[in-house]
Amino acid sequence: MTSKKTIPVPLSDALASYLKQAGITKRVQQAGIIEEWAELVGPQIASVTAPESITPDGVLRVRVTTAPWANELSMMSPRILARLNAGRSGRVKEIRWVPLSA
């Protein structure tokens, strides 16, 4: 009886392969956007916002401290989307800026 030797693979490769096979790589990358929010948008925007959730179809919901900030950020959405999506397969298609106060 001959035993077949397996070549060890790095855990990161095994995990990436599993996530891809399970079809959740995109969602993991989308979730990363929430975790990395402050680094992705910078300190000024991060100080007045809090990302809440992202839907499987790519809608990111972000709380904003005031309605004027929400309005300003909505005009900046194309630039912010470009930063969020750079190098990711789990993409954000739309940002919903939700003010905490009117």
Structural domain spans, the chain:
11-99
Q: What is the pLDDT of residue 64?
A: 97
CA 99 to chain centre: 20
Q: What is the pTM of this model?
A: 0.71
CATH no. of 11-99: 3.30.300
Contact between residue 102 and residue 88 where contact means Cβ atoms under 8 Å apart: no
Orientation of helix 25-35 relative to helix 11-22, angle to 10°: 110
93 Cβ neighbours under 8 A, 6+ residues apart: 57, 58, 59, 81
Per-residue pLDDT of the chain (102 residues; tens, 9 = 90+): 566 777 888 888 777 777 667 666 666 677 778 889 999 999 999 999 999 998 888 899 999 999 999 999 999 999 999 999 988 776 889 999 999 865
